[in-house]
């Protein structure tokens, strides 16, 4: 069955043609889809008979919304169940991060994660399958539909999806097919500029090279340590692709003018926030092409790490800036509903008192 979430105009025209339906309806259907409407019953300018048939010919919505939680800052976390395919019955989370001028959807590419970074809550959830492209795109469409049905106050949110980040559950480069299919749809169908899409990876170097050749979106690297001994512990994929290999691939990643690669660095007290870690970063970072983004650590029950204090993070940031490294500190969003960086885990029961019915 053709998945509506990733269908192109040509595919949909062919499908309609095969069933003797007028091909011009394809554009109308995709106009709805591109606004997040995937239920044919809501496609008002499509005749009733065709709406019914569309539900038979296409896989219209592969996800069921189980719960939606909303943070005090307006961040929304969605728990979604996959309704068919290889991951049937399994659950993933995605997050909408509102701002007055923009709206970002953080999407998941896997159920759990193939990797096992010890500070990350998702890493504590066993890997349970790769999502297909249409299941990843459907997360974006679901958020669009939710914002239209139930907008946030305008003081908090532009109530539109302008940016996409692959920073949810999973290592995107371990699911290249699903992620490439998603990128093709986001760029070619939903017309989201590549400057507004960021893929975060722990550093699977061959995948990064292929990404740069095919879909050179913004790149973020889960760095977290700039020497191999420590990074082998914090980001175990470093044992396979050590920093020297990562360096080579990052230096060759295509970057448009004025853009940079983001090196994400979660601040763990006494682990990677010491003087020697500043020195290691100063040696590793390519100042002309990269910036460091320091992240407050969000604790979770499966980890013994403690986050660095805000004061210490600011001191660390100043030390990097003094060494000529562009450094920012990420504002934590949605941590009261476990929607912040490194907190997603769809095997964790959702707190019922905080959950809104789907
Ligand atoms: S940090 Fe990323 S790659 Fe590492 S376990 Fe968490 S989700 Fe997986």
Q: Could you identify the atom of ligand 1 that is nearest to the CA of residue 169?
A: 7
Percent of the chain with pLDDT over 70: 97
- Ligand 1 centroid to Cα of residue 219, in Å, is 15
From the candidates 58, 60, 87, 93, give the one annotated as an active-site residue.
Answer: 93
The tens digit of pLDDT for each residue in 341-352 reads 777 777 754 433
Q: Could you identify the atom of ligand 1 that is nearest to the CA of residue 200?
A: 2
* Domain containing residue 39: CATH number: 1.10.150.530
State yes or no: is 42 an active-site residue.
Answer: no
299 is in which domain, residue-wise? Answer: 73-357
Res 344: pLDDT: 75
Same domain flag for 23 and 171: no
Same domain flag for 27 and 103: no
Tokens at 121, concatenated: 């809550």
Q: What is the DSSP letter of 155?
A: T
Would residue 154 count as lying in a domain? yes
Strand partners, 199: 166, 219
Give the total number of structural domains in the chain: 2
Question: pTM of whole model > 0.85?
Answer: yes
Determine if ligand 1 sits within 6 Å of the CB of residue 122. yes
The tens digit of pLDDT for each residue in 88-120 reads 999 999 999 999 999 999 999 999 988 889 998
CA nearest neighbour of 79 among 334, 335, 356, 300: 356
The tens digit of pLDDT for each residue in 60-76 reads 999 999 999 999 999 99
Same domain flag for 126 and 218: yes
Same domain flag for 12 and 156: no
- Residue 263 backbone dihedrals phi, psi, to 5 degrees: -105, 110
155 backbone φψ class: left, alpha, beta (φ>0; ψ -120 to 50): alpha
Q: What is the DSSP letter of 184?
A: H
Q: What is the DSSP letter of 96?
A: E
- How far is the CA of 206 from the CAs of 49, 174, 253, 287, in angstroms? 48, 11, 11, 23
- Ligand 1 centroid to Cα of residue 167, in Å, is 9
Confidence check: pLDDT of 357 > 50: no
Helix (H, G, I), strand (E, B) or coil at 166: strand
Confidence check: pLDDT of 232 > 60: yes
């Amino acid at each position: 069955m053709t998945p509506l979430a990733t269908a192109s105009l040509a595919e949909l025209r062919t499908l309609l043609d095969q069933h003797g339906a007028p091909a011009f309806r394809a554009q109308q259907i995709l106009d709805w889809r591109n606004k997040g409407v995937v239920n044919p019953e809501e496609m008002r300018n499509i005749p009733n008979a065709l709406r019914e048939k569309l539900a038979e010919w296409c896989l219209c919505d592969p996800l069921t919304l189980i719960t939606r939680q909303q943070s005090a800052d307006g961040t929304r976390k969605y728990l979604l169940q996959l309704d068919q395919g290889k991951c049937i019955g399994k659950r993933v989370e995605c997050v909408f991060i509102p701002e007055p001028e923009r709206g970002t959807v953080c999407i998941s590419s896997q159920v759990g994660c193939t990797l096992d970074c010890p500070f990350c809550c998702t890493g504590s959830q066993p890997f349970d399958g790769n999502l297909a492209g249409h299941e990843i795109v459907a997360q974006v469409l679901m958020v669009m539909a939710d914002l239209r049905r139930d907008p946030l106050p305008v003081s908090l949110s532009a109530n539109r999806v302008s940016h996409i980040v692959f920073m949810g559950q999973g290592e995107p480069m371990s699911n290249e097919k699903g992620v490439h299919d998603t990128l093709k749809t986001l760029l070619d169908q939903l017309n989201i500029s590549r400057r507004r899409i960021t893929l975060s990876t722990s550093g699977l170097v061959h995948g990064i090279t292929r990404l740069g050749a095919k879909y050179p979106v913004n790149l973020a690297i889960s760095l977290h340590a700039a020497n191999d001994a420590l990074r082998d512990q914090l980001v175990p994929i470093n044992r396979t692709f050590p920093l020297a290999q990562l360096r080579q691939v990052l230096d060759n990643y295509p970057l448009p003018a004025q853009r940079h690669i983001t090196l994400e660095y979660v601040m763990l007290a006494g682990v990677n926030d010491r003087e020697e870690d500043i020195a290691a970063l100063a040696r590793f970072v390519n100042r002309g092409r990269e910036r460091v983004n320091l992240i407050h650590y969000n604790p979770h029950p499966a980890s013994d790490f403690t986050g660095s204090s805000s004061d210490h993070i600011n001191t660390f940031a100043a030390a990097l800036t003094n060494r000529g490294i562009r450094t920012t500190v990420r504002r934590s969003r949605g941590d009261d509903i476990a929607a912040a960086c490194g907190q997603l885990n769809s095997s964790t029961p959702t707190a019922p008192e905080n959950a809104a019915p789907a």
